[in-house]
Structure 1
Amino acid sequence: MSSDSIVEYVLGSSVRTDVLLAIVAEERSIGELIDAVEASESAVYNAVGDLERKGLVRSLDTGWAATGSGQLVADLLEQQGNLCRLLADDYWREHDVAALPRRFRLRLTELADAEVYRAADTDPHAVVREVCDRVERAGTEVDIVTPIYQAEYESVMPDAPDARLIVDRTVALDALERIDSPDEADQWTETPVRVLDVDVGIGVTDSEIMLSLPTIDGQWDSRTEVIAEDDRAMEWGRDLFEHYWDRATPNDEFVAEHFS
């Protein structure tokens, strides 16, 4: 039986699903499973037998435990549940997730507990203010990726060695066109700055991540922001920033190349 059909088999019964997840959570006796799962005693017995025949659970002297296969199936069930929670918000239908590297799209379910902030028509700059407030509260330890120039964001970017900034290549080139020498390019004297072609906006502090994606038709959207504070989302955001940072060109090299 293929992995897809095993998952479908488990999902084909709510009792099988609940029993597997209960066993994965902790080793349980059959009596404990009957108490934990909302189903008849016979249904729980049948589910345990079905899962054992598929190699997803095994019997020990102390109770029922998941096999490696059972753990993998349970992990996939959790991901599917998180994906459903993520897709409940129209943000993901309206914005271009293809702007993200594929391996980070595959991990987007880690943002299942994120909140989407939206500016009302009567206050279109509310999200920009919200992001600025959060960056200022973060102090000097903040990592930012910006695919656009926005004066409000520039004004709150700290100039400190603990901060890091990645600027889109087009934004950087536009800035260089307005100066006459490399000496004028050091807007931040302490903050490490790098340059990269990027369509995604990210802010990572020690307690939250902020994410901006272009709309599905390629427009920049300053009126919505995805904000998350839980550990899984924080790890996703930190990993994404490091992915871009490792691929970006240090600003001094970029400036020297421009003026060479």
Structure 2
Amino acid sequence: MESLCDLLFEVSNEDRLRILQQIRDIPSSISSLARDLNLSSQEASRHAHRLTEVRLTRRDPDGLFRATEFGKLFLQQLQGPTFTSRHRSYFTAHTLPIPDSFIARMGELNEATYVEDIMLGIFKMEAVVREAEEYVLTMASHYPVSSYPLFFDAWDRGVKVNSVDGKLYVPPEQILEAIGREDWRERIHRARADGLSEDRLIDKVEVNLWMSEREVGLLAFPKADGTPDLIGFSSTDQRAHRWCRDLFDHYWERGEPGHWDEIHLYSDEKQ
């Protein structure tokens, strides 16, 4: 009986993994595998037969090797470890405070691009708002002051903005002063009255997520010590978009209606 360790051992060899990926959809001969993957015929034959021994591949009567259905399934399940392994430095320094069901689907982020600079992360966050045509979804540990004029412009275009915010978020004085301005308050209240802005509150936002109908501008997990971060991933890939949308919906459905800005502004007025 083949164990998980047996399977992992076989695909731990880069050449065998490349062969399995090569014949996932199109069968191939040993000579073709050797040519396409720059291997000797002896190496290609040995690796292909080892994959066959653990039922990841099979040999057709005409001599062509192809991935079995089990082999295709195994490759699909490897996408999660492939993604996290590719970004092992990032995931060594960051934690994932999200449900296990989303961790099990991490392979859907396989085509995401690493955003390695905070300023680039802010740029991509704001670009999502600037370029959206239908909607913007945000889960934000904090909002840059520069993002609010972009929200105003988005509302003017008829773009709906849904946000999941944290009850425990303590905004800096600069943010409170900005959103406390009469003209800004009027724009925010009008958008809420027109149904273009809707917020939900959870205790604490740990994962930063900014996305639109077109793309994921930024998905950033907190650092290992729990500190929010703006270094993470962006993507226009459909599977990554679906993963991020599902994550947003998960927290949206568990949030309660409310606005973090009004909590703090009303608190200040009472004082």
Q: For residue 234 of structure 2, what is the amino acid of its counterpart?
A: I
Q: For residue 239 of structure 1, what is the amino acid of its counterpart?
A: D
Distance 1:32 1:235 in 2: 37
The unaligned stretches of length 5 or more in structure 1 are 120-124, 179-183, 256-260
Distance 1:218 1:42 in 2: 51
1:181 equivalent in structure 2: none
Name the CA shift for 1:91/1:49 in 2 (closer, same or farther; >3 Å).
Answer: closer
Name the CA shift for 1:35/1:225 in 2 (closer, same or farther; >3 Å).
Answer: closer
Answering whether residue 221 of structure 2 is matched by residue 213 of structure 1, we say: yes
Query: TM-score under structure 1 normalisation?
Result: 0.73
Name the CA shift for 1:218/1:80 in 2 (closer, same or farther; >3 Å).
Answer: closer
Residue 220 of structure 1 and its aligned partner are, at CA, apart by 3.2
Deviation string 1:226-251 (CA, Å, 9 cap, x unpaired) is 32233332222122112222222234
Residue 140 of structure 1 and its aligned partner are, at CA, apart by 4.5
Aligned pairs for 1:71-82 within 5 A: 71-82=72-83
1:44 equivalent in structure 2: 44
Answering whether residue 224 of structure 2 is matched by residue 230 of structure 1, we say: no
Deviation string 1:189-223 (CA, Å, 9 cap, x unpaired) is 2123222233222111123211233332233345x
Name the CA shift for 1:79/1:35 in 2 (closer, same or farther; >3 Å).
Answer: farther
1:24 equivalent in structure 2: 24
Residue 8 of structure 1 and its aligned partner are, at CA, apart by 0.9
CA RMSD of aligned residues (A): 3.4
The unaligned stretches of length 5 or more in structure 2 are 171-175, 181-185, 263-271
Residue 139 of structure 1 and its aligned partner are, at CA, apart by 4.0
Q: For residue 213 of structure 1, what is the amino acid of its counterpart?
A: F
Equivalent pairs: percent with the same residue?
22
Contact 2:16 2:48 survives alignment (8 Å): yes
2:70 equivalent in structure 1: 69
Contact 2:16 2:47 survives alignment (8 Å): yes
Deviation string 1:57-80 (CA, Å, 9 cap, x unpaired) is 223345322222212332344443
Deviation string 1:135-180 (CA, Å, 9 cap, x unpaired) is 12224421111233543334433445733222223349xx9xx9xx
2:192 equivalent in structure 1: 188
Query: TM-score under structure 2 normalisation?
Result: 0.71
Contact 1:146 1:200 survives alignment (8 Å): yes
Q: For residue 43 of structure 1, what is the amino acid of its counterpart?
A: E
Contact 1:114 1:229 survives alignment (8 Å): no
Contact 1:211 1:226 survives alignment (8 Å): yes
1:103 equivalent in structure 2: 101
Aligned positions, number: 237
